[in-house]
Structure 1
């Protein structure tokens, strides 16, 4: 799926950023750098070029605003996109422009533009929320009730634009059957080292171990 010398670009919000513009430049200290380590150890002959364009707090509208500069102009061979949890939060805070429908519309515009400009493989990663809150009327419970609407949009886009896809929310949910959420994140949005390893490993398995 990846060839020697390919440029692999990761883009998203703080989960992707992970300090890549500050103390952990240039790749951050999250799943992007872990993915690079996995590839360097297992497939050093590929000599991939890894670029991290995550920005903390970003939404799909933010991605659309900077897409040409941060993605198209780099001419990547492979693009991984993880976006949506900030859109969901803003929607629950009353900002209707971040509704699932508008999320889908802006995301679709990004993918449509990319397909017209680049011959790149694309991987869509679903937003996720690492929590088991299920009964009390809390914000966490509202997020867990709402996030399927955003995940459904990503799945639909993946089908429509023939992209690769990983449901990260489901991957974390599977683990939470055996391990408490705190093992993967200090709070539901931002994974710790173990949570980032899960993300990196799922990406690695899909694009470097799938037949």
Structure 2
């Protein structure tokens, strides 16, 4: 009798643990700068992704976490990687950075040289991959929304985007080519050739439509 009870207690405990395991949410972290910091606002792209999960019946399967800080560049992400990302033991990490590495060269003289940008980026990926987490990296978006690559920093953004594409290939990680995709969108939705107001409020930071655009870009990797 005791063996019978012990056996069913054992089976019940396995069933409980299995159910507990199934209920564990996949932890997804969005790692970046002020665009990601604003992503958790009521109309931010991370908030919109959460709403999309609810609509799709998958909100119980994922925990979306924003880890964006305004003004951050690639080396800032490297310095806070352990505390703000890895300590949370994520399953999936999106890295969306590069705007300030380019933009701040002109604005404050504190950008990041291309070779340093690439080295820091590679180090971040190495540390993430060592934990077994999946990483998806993104090319930087825009500084100005004029068409035809006439914005002042378009040349540098193209160069840094190419660096991110090369990193994705060398490290064998997934790439979301936000730079290309946002330019394609602007080319077909900016007939008046405005510097801002299509997807951004100021040429850099996303408006409501820009946040919807970003949410759609990330959605395919989450769902």
The TM tier, using the shorter chain, reads 0.7 to 0.9
* More RCO (CA 8 Å, sep 6+): 1
Query: 2:172, 2:57 → 1: CA distance?
Result: 26
- Equivalent position of 2:203 in the other structure: 188
Greater Rg by CA: 2
TM-score (structure 2 length as normaliser): 0.79
The answer to whether the aligner puts 1:67 opposite 2:67 as a matched pair is: no
The 3 A distance-change label for structure 1 pair 56 and 45 is: closer
SS in 2 for 1:183: coil
Asked if the contact 2:149–2:155 (Cα under 8 Å) also holds between the matched residues in 1, the reply is: no
Report the alpha carbon displacement of residue 183 of structure 1 after superposing the two structures with TM.
Answer: 2.4
Match 1:119 to one of 122, 132, 135: 132
The answer to whether the aligner puts 1:91 opposite 2:105 as a matched pair is: yes
Asked if the contact 1:64–1:106 (Cα under 8 Å) also holds between the matched residues in 2, the reply is: yes
Asked if the contact 1:125–1:165 (Cα under 8 Å) also holds between the matched residues in 2, the reply is: yes
- Equivalent position of 1:10 in the other structure: 30
Query: 2:123, 2:149 → 1: CA distance?
Result: 37
The answer to whether the aligner puts 1:149 opposite 2:159 as a matched pair is: yes
Asked if the contact 1:40–1:47 (Cα under 8 Å) also holds between the matched residues in 2, the reply is: no
**Aligned residue pair count:** 195
Runs of 5+ unmatched residues, structure 2: 1-22, 191-195
The answer to whether the aligner puts 1:131 opposite 2:138 as a matched pair is: no
Runs of 5+ unmatched residues, structure 1: none
Query: 1:87, 1:196 → 2: CA distance?
Result: 21
TM-score (structure 1 length as normaliser): 0.84
Alignment RMSD (CA, Å): 2.2
Match 2:171 to one of 155, 161, 169: 161
Asked if the contact 2:102–2:111 (Cα under 8 Å) also holds between the matched residues in 1, the reply is: no
The 3 A distance-change label for structure 1 pair 135 and 68 is: closer
